[in-house]
Amino acid sequence: MIEIVAVLAFAVTMSAMLTWVERRLLGLWQDRYGPNRVGPFGMLQPVADMIKILTKEDWVPPFADRAVFVLAPAVAVAASLLSFAIVPFAPGIGIADLNIGVLFFLAMSSLGIYSVLLGGWASNSKYSLIGSLRASAQMLSYEVFMGLSLVGVVAMAGTFNLREIVEAQRKLWFVVPQFLGFVIFTIAGIAETRRLPFDLPEAEAELVAGFHTEYSGMKFGMFFVGEYAGMTLISAMIVTLFFGGWLGPWLPPIAWFLIKLFAFLGFFILLRATLPRLRYDQLMAFGWKVMLPLALANVVVTGGVLLAARGL
Amino acid sequence: MTEIINDVLGDPVFAICALISVMGALTVVSRRNPIHGALGLMLAFLAFAVLFIRLNATFLAAMHVLVYTGAILVLFLFVIMLLNLSREELGREYGVATKGAIALLVAVMCGLLLFAIGKDPDLARPASPIVDRVLYPGSAQELRVAEDGGAGSKPWGGVDHVGTALFGRWIFPFELVSVLIIVAILGAVVLAKRKLPPES
């Protein structure tokens, strides 16, 4: 019970603090300050934002489908927070130890599409609808390679259990033999969380704010929490599946996990600071014509090597 | 019959999920708005996934959420949104006579189902031997022993059991199905492309 509360608190606090970290780092990389007024180094900015977002008028447009409109942001938060149940933070720390951990993660991330799809449709506005159609097509496509890119890891570890996958990396992190899988999973993960350079569903220059154009107040805030929790989750999964999770010398396991986690969060933010947005047809062509064949080739080669190693 | 009712009441998770799935299914057929119907289907699917877990079929549960809820139903929603039908385009409601006839038919079919279950209660019980008989015709006996908690045995219905069954005993039907699916995909592509104007 305490663990569940702790992990929930961790996920939500991380999402709040990430907004500040992201803006500060973007400021650093773009040669400006970022938020630095509220508290030391502006660290209390998320608190100020939270007060603002909670006291704002929570408006449902009269032309919206009310029930679905309210449901969508709840799905966004629930889907990403549920996945945290299977994240193995360190030996003994973590909520559930499922035999189908990897599949559970994939299933929950596939449910995340509903928030975008329903939010965009229920808003009953053209920008929202276009944004949500883009988002769902993008997430459906990239989910395919996300699953395929993990087949190599699962085959090498011989299990879907995340803790056993971490233990299987004692000698060598899977990022070395499964480098291709790592690259594909990372790209698919960025597309799945709809972050730059794959943030077409909310491309502000053409779609106002995409699927959440009509949202305000805490409902908008919940989409935000969902996005940042999703980003934390993808980083945690990269660390677990490819970078040995909590494994590392000297420091306690949980410290290693967090160090690796923050390294990838920083990498995600660096990507946002560096890369321009893709065009929609480029995004789709890249997915189906480059990523899918590469992921399939990775499955075939890994399978072949494993069979050869077993001397068949 | 009473045995089955006791089984259901003695298993609250099953009772709740069954109730949710029936409510979801009723939503699917009773809503005029297709999106609300699809949402009801999603609810039913999620309840099914929990029922699969109750049956020890964890792999099936994960796949059910991943494939049906996460992909196929999303495509349903996708198509409904693209069509974006108005109230008139959805067609008029059926008259009382038609509705009554359909209700009667459904009631008769439900009655038949209940009658069949009453004849062979094994059909309705979680982790029923029927599943063993279908999936593992030869080894049902030893599997049931493993299920009873033999030391170190993995629960059946996990990834390894499904994999061994699919790619071992049932490899030929499995490959047949994949050929069938490829033919269906190619057919869909050919049909979709046929409307293109001839190249000039």
Does the model's pTM come out above 0.90?
no
Confidence of residue A22 (pLDDT cuts 50, 70, 90): confident
Find tokens 């991380």 and name the residue.
A14
Task: Provide the pLDDT for residue B1.
Answer: 60
Which is more confident, B92 or A172? A172
Q: How many CB atoms lie within 10 A of CB B167?
A: 11
Q: Which residues of B fall within a CB distance of 8 Å from A118?
A: 35, 39, 77
Q: How far apart are CA B170 and CA B188, in angstroms?
A: 27
pLDDT > 90: what percent of chain B? 16
Distances (CA, A) of B54 to A87, B27, B154: 23, 24, 16
Phi first, then psi, for residue A90 (nearest 5°) are -160, 170
Phi first, then psi, for residue B17 (nearest 5°) are -65, -40
Q: B16-51: per-residue pLDDT in tens?
A: 888 999 999 999 888 878 888 888 999 999 999 888
Of B35, B42, B75, the CB nearest to A121: B35
Strand partners, A93: A90
Find tokens 């508290």 and name the residue.
A39
Closest-approach residue (CA) in chain B for A142? B71
Confidence of residue B180 (pLDDT cuts 50, 70, 90): very high
Side-chain-side CA neighbours of A2 within 13 Å: the count stands at: 2
Structural domains of chain B sorted by starting position, each given as residue range(s) with its CATH number in brackets: 1-89 (1.20.120.1200)
Task: Provide the pLDDT for residue B88.
Answer: 66
Task: Provide the pLDDT for residue B111.
Answer: 92
Which is more confident, B144 or B151? B144
Of A71, A108, A136, the CB nearest to B78: A136
Distances (CA, A) of A62 to A69, A214, B137: 11, 11, 59
Residue B147 has pLDDT above 60, yes or no: no
Query: Sign (positive/negative) of CA torsion B172, B157, A298, A307?
Result: negative
Find tokens 């008139």 and name the residue.
B88
Query: Sign (positive/negative) of CA torsion A137, A141, A147, A150?
Result: negative
Q: Which residues of B fall within a CB distance of 8 Å from A99?
A: 58, 158-159
Q: How far apart are CA A229 and CA A14, in angstroms?
A: 7
Token reading at B55? 């049956």
* Residue ranges of chain A whose CB lies within 8 Å of a chain B CB: 65, 67-68, 71, 98-100, 103-104, 106-108, 110-111, 113-114, 117-118, 121, 129, 132-133, 136-137, 140, 143, 147, 160
The verdict on whether omega for the bond into residue A249 sits within 30 degrees of 0, i.e. cis, is no
Side-chain-side CA neighbours of A218 within 13 Å: the count stands at: 8
Q: How far apart are CA A3 and CA B170, in angstroms?
A: 43
Q: What is the ipTM of this complex?
A: 0.78
Confidence of residue B115 (pLDDT cuts 50, 70, 90): confident
Which is more confident, A238 or B93? A238
Confidence of residue A204 (pLDDT cuts 50, 70, 90): low
Q: How far apart are CA A264 and CA A94, in angstroms?
A: 20
Residue B64 has pLDDT above 50, yes or no: yes
